[in-house]
């Protein structure tokens, strides 16, 4: 049996950085990765139009300053192949592949208290042992297949956006159905429409959307950023969003209609998440939020020619930004094409998938291919699919059955020496995820270093501190409009999943200060065993 200091699960941004840090510490580390190569999210999500909604100058790693200078992002928001190339470059630069086992799925991890060791079993029948296990499994890595009657009966091709064929897919002349209208659908639909003979989009809930305003990266912006990269990276570490965009400087309710229109138009012209962060009250005051919603609806009406379709595309069932905001490039205009149709599943729900297509309550849609753009079992899916057994036979899936519980989103009571990168209860998906990952990885690495210095055997969240943190995470979310949406942040997209707001909305900067203080104060709230003078 292979015996290691640490096992890292996943080889996306998080797993790669974790490997790098622990290796620098002189630890023996093995990364286990289900995919055939590095990249995580960016390895799997290869659908047409897949790109990051965070600007690449920020959505990139801070620990390779030479790469910051050398690398050129062709566009403001990079498409998937470019990001995947970038991640490959990181792996090459740091010679990481030699410690990564690909095509290896972790099936179970079991803590052996007598030896303070984790036993990890893979689908290749291999067993490894390590003192530490770091789950770098990603927040959006388990695709959600909806439970639609007859799904298996379809005779044409079935695709899921998160499991896209590596060789691509030619839609030329085909009759195509897309189910779902989240970020993924909004990115891919204009591209699919460009090829398909006929495209029918099945919408259950319209999503709030802002124009991405993507384009070639302005050389002046690039030059400026490269001249100040270290300062910008340092600033980003302490902002709420993990990026350097304007944050919370404008109070919507202080502005009259005319002034607000000017400010919002400016946001829409700048595009992307510029629309989300400048406002202090957008996510807390329903009235302020409604004014942004009204502006966004006006915008949609100006872009979609058919008024009935435009109304269907206006999100109404949740406040603006309370589901992950989508960034669009030509999405709304796609519905002006004669061969593209929108089906409203609220008035005519899907009754079944049949061999020749999709039957709704009032029509049969014959199609050649069905694309499920139906999202993920987010935040917990990858963790609960692994049989993770901690102290005294406690299984993580069972512990989280009524809602996720974790201290700082990084450590769970009952699971010693197990760390979760961007776990539930941390800022993770609410912010620039690369910044969130770096903060967690650095904190975990320092914690492991500290345990070594103390000669300690294990660390885990104490139940009291975990409860207090969960309460704080909930209270922070409850002070906002976020819990009002049936979002994947709430687990609401997965039937039967506990409805708890999972990410921490307090912002990266305040969260980092808190985590740093915990470390500086010797990890209060954590149970440390084997430490000199402590329990064995």
Q: Quote the distance between the C-alpha of residue 102 and its chain's center.
A: 22
Query: Which residue of the chain is nearest ligand NA7 when measured via CB?
Result: 182
**Phi, psi (deg, nearest 5) at residue 350:** -70, 130
Residue 261 CB, nearest distance to ligand NA7 (Å)? 28
Q: Going by DSSP bridges, is the β-strand pair 127-135/117-122 parallel, antiparallel, or unpaired?
A: antiparallel
CB atoms within 10 A of CB 221: 12
Interface with ligand NA7 by CB under 6 A: which residues? Answer: 140, 146, 148, 161, 179-185, 204-205, 324, 345, 373-376, 488, 493
**For ligand NA7, which is the closer residue by CB, 271 or 416?**
271
Cα(295)–Cα(286) distance, rounded to whole angstroms?
Answer: 14
Residue 140 CB, nearest distance to ligand NA7 (Å)? 5
Residue 505 CB, nearest distance to ligand NA7 (Å)? 15
Element holding 129 (H helix, E strand): strand 127-135
**For ligand NA7, which is the closer residue by CB, 52 or 407?**
52
Which of 212, 267, 273, 193 minimizes the C-alpha distance to 78?
Answer: 212
Place of tokens 């930004």: 321
Three-class DSSP category at 275:
helix
Three-class DSSP category at 88:
helix
Residue 189 CB, nearest distance to ligand NA7 (Å)? 11
**For ligand NA7, which is the closer residue by CB, 21 or 324?**
324
**For ligand NA7, which is the closer residue by CB, 406 or 493?**
493
Cα(347)–Cα(442) distance, rounded to whole angstroms?
Answer: 49
**For ligand NA7, which is the closer residue by CB, 9 or 185?**
185
Residue 360 CB, nearest distance to ligand NA7 (Å)? 11
Element holding 157 (H helix, E strand): strand 157-160
Asked whether 165 and 182 are in contact (CB, 8 A), the reply is no
Residue 495 CB, nearest distance to ligand NA7 (Å)? 9
Which of 117, 501, 174, 200 minimizes the C-alpha distance to 373?
Answer: 200
Residue 14 CB, nearest distance to ligand NA7 (Å)? 15
**For ligand NA7, which is the closer residue by CB, 135 or 429?**
429
Place of tokens 């008035």: 347
Residue 394 CB, nearest distance to ligand NA7 (Å)? 30
Which residues, in sequence order, are CB contacts of 515 under 8 Å at separation 6+? 408, 410, 439, 443
**For ligand NA7, which is the closer residue by CB, 312 or 444?**
312
Three-class DSSP category at 292:
helix
The three-point CA angle 459-387-397 to 5° equals 80
**For ligand NA7, which is the closer residue by CB, 183 or 239?**
183
The token pair at 102 is 């690909």
Residue 357 CB, nearest distance to ligand NA7 (Å)? 15
Asked whether 500 and 474 are in contact (CB, 8 A), the reply is yes
Side-chain-side CA neighbours of 51 within 13 Å: the count stands at: 27
Element holding 510 (H helix, E strand): helix 508-520
**For ligand NA7, which is the closer residue by CB, 171 or 489?**
489
Residue 240 CB, nearest distance to ligand NA7 (Å)? 17
**For ligand NA7, which is the closer residue by CB, 41 or 404?**
41
């Amino acid at each position: 049996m292979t015996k290691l200091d640490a096992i890292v699960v996943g080889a996306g941004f998080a797993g790669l950085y974790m490997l790098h840090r622990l290796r620098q510490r002189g630890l023996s580390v093995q990364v286990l990765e289900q995919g055939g190569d590095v990249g995580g999210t960016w390895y799997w999500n290869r659908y047409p139009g897949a790109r990051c909604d965070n600007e690449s100058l920020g959505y990139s790693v801070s620990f390779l300053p030479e790469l910051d200078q050398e690398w050129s992002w062709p566009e403001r928001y990079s498409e998937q192949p470019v990001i995947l190339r970038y991640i490959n470059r990181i792996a090459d630069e740091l010679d990481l592949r030699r410690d990564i086992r690909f095509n290896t799925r972790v099936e179970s991890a079991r803590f052996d208290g007598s030896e303070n060791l984790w036993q990890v079993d893979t689908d290749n029948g291999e067993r490894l042992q390590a003192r530490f296990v770091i789950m770098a499994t990603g927040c959006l890595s388990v695709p959600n297949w909806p439970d639609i009657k007859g799904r298996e009966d379809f005779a044409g091709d079935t695709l899921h956006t998160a499991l896209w064929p590596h060789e691509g897919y030619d839609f030329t002349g085909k009759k195509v159905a897309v189910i779902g209208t989240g970020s993924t659908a909004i990115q891919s639909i204009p591209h699919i429409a460009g090829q398909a003979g006929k495209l029918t989009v099945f919408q259950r809930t319209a999503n709030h959307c802002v124009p991405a305003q993507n384009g070639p990266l302005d050389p002046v912006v690039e030059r400026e950023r490269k001249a100040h990269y270290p300062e910008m990276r340092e600033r980003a570490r302490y902002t709420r969003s993990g990026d350097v965009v304007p944050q919370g400087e404008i109070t919507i309710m202080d502005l009259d209609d005319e002034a607000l229109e000017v400010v919002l138009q400016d946001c829409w012209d700048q595009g992307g998440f510029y629309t989300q962060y400048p406002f202090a009250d957008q996510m807390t005051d329903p009235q302020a939020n409604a004014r942004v919603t009204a502006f966004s609806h006006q915008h949609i009406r100006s872009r979609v020619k058919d008024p009935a379709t435009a109304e269907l595309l206006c999100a109404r069932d949740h406040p603006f930004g309370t589901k992950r905001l989508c960034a669009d490039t030509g999405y709304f205009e796609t519905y002006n094409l004669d061969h593209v149709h929108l089906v409203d599943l609220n008035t005519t729900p899907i009754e079944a998938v049949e061999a020749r297509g999709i039957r709704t309550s009032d029509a049969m849609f014959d199609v050649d291919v069905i694309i499920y753009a139906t999202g993920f079992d987010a935040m917990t899916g990858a963790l609960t699919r692994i049989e993770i057994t901690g102290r005294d036979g406690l299984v993580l899936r069972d512990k989280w059955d009524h809602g996720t519980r974790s201290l700082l989103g990084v450590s769970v009571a009952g699971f010693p020496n197990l760390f979760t990168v961007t776990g539930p209860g941390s800022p993770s998906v609410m912010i620039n995820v690369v910044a969130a990952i770096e903060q967690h990885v650095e904190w975990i690495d320092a914690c492991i270093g500290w345990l070594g210095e103390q000669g300690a055997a294990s660390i885990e969240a104490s139940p009291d501190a975990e409860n207090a943190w969960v309460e704080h995470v909930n209270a922070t979310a409850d002070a906002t409009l976020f819990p009002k949406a049936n979002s994947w942040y709430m687990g609401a997209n997965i039937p039967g999943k506990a409805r708890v707001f999972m990410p921490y909305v307090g912002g990266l900067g305040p969260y980092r200060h808190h985590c740093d203080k915990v470390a500086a104060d010797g990890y209060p709230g954590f149970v440390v065993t084997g430490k000199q003078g402590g329990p064995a």
